[in-house]
Structure 1
Amino acid sequence: MSTYTVAHSPDADDVFMFYAIKFGWVSSKYIRFENIALDIETLNEKALQNYYDITAISFALYPYIKNDYALLKTAVSFGKGYGPKLIKKRDKRLKKNFKVALSGQYTTNAMLFRIAYPNARFVYMNFLEIEKAVVEGRVDAGVLIHESILNFDESLEVEKEIWDIWIELAKKELPLPLGGMALRRSIPLLKAIESENMLIKAVQVANKHKDAISKMLIERNLVRIDDEKLKIYLNMYANEDSSLMNEEHYEALDRLFEIGFEHGFYDTPIKAKEYLIPSEYKNVRFC
C-alpha cells in the first residue's frame, strides 16, 4: 500500500469533501491518504516547491506548476453568480491607489483583482485576518474569501464582487474558477488514477450524505461556522458540480488561463484538458 499526502485548506468545503475519506467511508486496498490542512496561499507556495503529493490549489496558480502536477477533475470550487468580495468601510471613497489586503499572490481572486485595479497597493495576508485589517483601518479595503463572504462586520460594505470582474474580463457568463486539486506527476499512473477515483468517490459520498457529514464536522469543531451558514456555504462550493468538472468548467478554466496570459501573468496560454490524468489508460491497459 502506498501512502500519499493530501493537503487541503481548512475552509468548510475542502474539509467537507475530504472527510468522507477521513471518516472511513471511502477507502482503497492500494492507497492510504494522510491529510494536512493549511491556508490556500501556503498550499500554493508549497505546490511551487513540489512539496505535497496531492494538494488543493488556486486555479490561477496551475500554469506555474503544470510540469510537476496534473490537474484533477474533482474536488473543485466554482462560483456561479457569487465569489470573493472586495469590501471597505461604509461610505469610504477609495482612491485610485488604495491599499488592499489580498489572501495571497497566487490566488485566483488576486489575479483578477490586480487586472481590474492595477494602481492599487497590495498587501498579502492570511484570509482570516483581512476583515479585521479593514475594520481597524490598516488597509483601505480587502478581498474576503471562503466563509467570510457570508457574514462580516456591519461597519463594512461590498465595493465590488469578484464575480463581476470575472464576467467583465471573460466577456461571457461562465462559472468563476476558484480552486481545485493537483496531483504530483511522479506518482505512478495507475496509482494516480486510483487516487483521483478515491477523491471523486469521496466528493460524491460527501454530497450524498451531506447532512450526516455536516453534523459530524460541527460536533468535532472542524469548521468555523454554524450549521445554518455551513449549509449555505456547502450549497455554494461543495455540490454536485464539485465531484467532476464539466465542459462549462473546462471552458471557464481555459478562459482564466487565457486572461492570465493576455495580462502577462503566464508565458503561454494552456488548455485544461491537456493537463488531466489520462484515466482511460487503466481501461486500455487491462482490456
Structure 2
Amino acid sequence: MLKKISVAHSPDADDIFMYYAIKFGWVTPKDAVFENIADDIESLNQATLKGEYDICAISFALYPFVKDEYALLKTAVSFGEGYGPKLIRKKETKLKRNFKVALSGEFTTNALLFRIAYPEAKITYMNFLDIEKAVIDGTVDAGVLIHESILTYSSELEVEREIWDIWLELSGGDLPLPLGGMCLRRSLPLHSAIDYENTLIKAVDVANKNRKVLAPMLLEKGLIRVDAKLLDNYLDLYANDNSVKMSEIQYKALDKLYELGYKHGFYENLIKAEDYLIPSEYEELRNK
C-alpha cells in the first residue's frame, strides 16, 4: 500500500497551476500518493508552525521559524521582478504615520517588509480576500493586496506604495522579491524526500510547458478565481520558468530577506537558504 503524503498549497492561481499536473495524474511520486489540501497562505504558515503537513506552501518569511523541522524545497517558488503585493488606500485620502492597515498574515513576506518600512502603523491581520473590502468600508485606512487581487482591485482604490519598491530600497536593488515557496518535513526518509521534491519539480515544469492545455482545464473546472485573460497575466508573474527550480540569484534574494529580518530583530539567527535544502546529491552517491 502506498504511503499517503499531505501536500498543502494555497487556493490562488499560481499554486493550483503548479500542483495540478500531479492532481491530474500527469506526474506521480514513486512510493506515495499525494493528498492535496488548499488553504490561505497564512493558515498554511500557522499549520507549518504546528507541523501539520508533510509538504506545505509557505511564505518565505516564515522559513527561519521552521528550519529545524522542515527542509526548504527548490521548486514551486514565487518571486516578484518589478511587481508584487501592493499597499492600497482609498482615492483622495492621505495616510497618517500611525495609519491602520490590514495585512494577510503575521508571517507573510509582505508583512515582514511592511513592518520594517512602517514601524508606527497599526496592523490588523485578516484573510487576504477580505482586505479590499475592509479598505473600501473604512474598517482600515489601507491594506496590502496579494495574489490575484493585485490585478483586480476596485477603481475606488489606488496604490500608495509597491512592496517591490520597499524591497528595492531595503535590499539595495538588483534582486527579485522572494514571496513564497514550499517546505518538506525533515522526519521523512531522505530517499523519499528527494523523490517528492523531484516529483514537484517535474510537476511545475510540466505545468509550465503545457500551460495552454492546463490553464483552460482549471478554468473549466471552476478552480480559478479569475477569467482566462487575468489568469494568463497572473501566471506570467508568478508561475513561469523561474518557478521550476531556484536559481543562484533567487538564493541571494532569500539570503538578503533573512539578513533584513535578522537585522531588524525578527529572527534570532542569520541563516543562508542553501544550507537548508534537501541534500539531493545523496541519491547520486547512493546509486553509484
- TM-score bracket relative to the smaller structure: over 0.9
Q: Distance in 1 between matches of 2:154 and 2:35?
A: 36
1:61 equivalent in structure 2: 62
Runs of 5+ in structure 2 lacking a partner? none
1:28 equivalent in structure 2: 29
Q: Distance in 2 between matches of 1:131 and 1:172?
A: 29
Q: Distance in 2 between matches of 1:56 and 1:27?
A: 18
Indicate conservation of the 8 Å contact 2:30/2:195, yes or no.
Answer: no
Residue type of the partner of 1:268? N
Q: How far has the Cα of 1:29 moved from its partner?
A: 3.1
Runs of 5+ in structure 1 lacking a partner? none
Map 1:50-199 onto structure 2 (within 5 A): 50-199=51-200
Q: How far has the Cα of 1:30 moved from its partner?
A: 1.0
Matched, 1:279 2:284: no
TM-score (norm 1): 0.99
Instruction: Please give the secondary structure, in 1, of the residue aligned with 2:7.
Output: strand
2:232 equivalent in structure 1: 231
Instruction: Please give the secondary structure, in 1, of the residue aligned with 2:148.
Output: helix
Q: Distance in 1 between matches of 2:194 and 2:47?
A: 22
Please list the CA deviations of residues 32-66 of structure 1 after superposition, one character each: whole Å capped at 9, or x if unmatched.
10000000000000000011000000000000000
Q: Distance in 1 between matches of 2:119 and 2:126?
A: 19
Matched, 1:270 2:274: no
Q: How far has the Cα of 1:261 moved from its partner?
A: 0.1
Percent identity reads 64
Q: How far has the Cα of 1:21 moved from its partner?
A: 0.3
Q: Distance in 2 between matches of 1:178 and 1:33?
A: 24
Q: Distance in 2 between matches of 1:153 and 1:271?
A: 39
1:10 equivalent in structure 2: 11
Q: Distance in 1 between matches of 2:30 and 2:116?
A: 46
> Where in structure 1 do 4 or more consecutive aligned residues deviate above 6 Å?
none
Aligned length: 287
Q: Distance in 1 between matches of 2:58 and 2:152?
A: 24
Instruction: Please give the secondary structure, in 2, of the residue aligned with 1:142.
Output: strand
Instruction: Please give the secondary structure, in 2, of the residue aligned with 1:231.
Output: helix
Instruction: Please give the secondary structure, in 1, of the residue aligned with 2:4.
Output: strand
Q: Distance in 2 between matches of 1:84 and 1:183?
A: 26
Residue type of the partner of 2:157? L
Q: Distance in 2 between matches of 1:85 and 1:28?
A: 37
1:245 equivalent in structure 2: 246
Q: Distance in 2 between matches of 1:276 and 1:260?
A: 20
Q: How far has the Cα of 1:275 moved from its partner?
A: 0.1
Please list the CA deviations of residues 139-198 of structure 1 after superposition, one character each: whole Å capped at 9, or x if unmatched.
000000000000211110000000000010001220000000000000000000000000
RMSD, matched Cα:
0.5
Instruction: Please give the secondary structure, in 2, of the residue aligned with 1:150.
Output: helix
Q: How far has the Cα of 1:229 moved from its partner?
A: 0.1
1:203 equivalent in structure 2: 204
Instruction: Please give the secondary structure, in 2, of the residue aligned with 1:118.
Output: coil
Q: Distance in 1 between matches of 2:19 and 2:239?
A: 11
Q: How far has the Cα of 1:211 moved from its partner?
A: 1.2
Matched, 1:261 2:253: no
Q: Distance in 2 between matches of 1:88 and 1:220?
A: 34
Q: Distance in 1 between matches of 2:29 and 2:154?
A: 44
Q: Distance in 2 between matches of 1:268 and 1:69?
A: 16
Instruction: Please give the secondary structure, in 2, of the residue aligned with 1:143.
Output: strand
Instruction: Please give the secondary structure, in 2, of the residue aligned with 1:214.
Output: helix
Residue type of the partner of 1:87? I
Matched, 1:46 2:47: yes
Residue type of the partner of 1:48? L
Q: Distance in 2 between matches of 1:269 and 1:220?
A: 44
Q: Distance in 2 between matches of 1:213 and 1:90?
A: 38
Q: How far has the Cα of 1:235 moved from its partner?
A: 0.7
